[in-house]
Amino acid sequence: MGITAQCKPQDWAGLALATLLGGGAFAFRQLAIVPRATVGICAASSAPGWCTPRGWDLLGQYYGAFGWAALAAGVLAFVWGQRIIAGLAIGLGIAAVVNYNGTQGIVGAALGLVAWLSLLTGRPGWGRL
């Protein structure tokens, strides 16, 4: 029994979503969080506007929000079998790993990947959606 790929437009949307979320999280981290100068810039009394999302990112990292969001999306993708939700789980999983929330994030990304590949290859029981 061979594997036949059943690519749909939702696969491209999921791939774009995963790339934008994962790549965006990586780029934001490299530009706004990693440079040491941003600590002093954002601690100033007249901090620029990009310091607010930087603070939200650090707060989400501290509370593990990225990892829990990736895990929730991965479970939803695995249970519902939706391609776009699977792409979301993978993108959030990458964002979680970038933000040091890899414990739950990598599990969510793995669940999303299993769901996505199962839908893509037409695995029995997954082809309904």
pLDDT at 1 over 70: no
Q: Write the CB contacts of 68 (distance below 8 Å, at least 6 apart in sequence).
A: 101, 104
Cα 60 to Cα 56: distance, rounded to the nearest angstrom: 6
Determine the pLDDT at residue 127: 56
Tokens of 117: 């590949």
- pTM assigned to the model: 0.88
pLDDT in tens, 27-49: 999 999 999 999 999 999 899 99
Question: Domain residue spans in the chain?
Answer: 9-121
Following CA atoms 64, 48, 24, 76 in sequence, which dihedral angle do they give, to the nearest 10 degrees?
Answer: 40
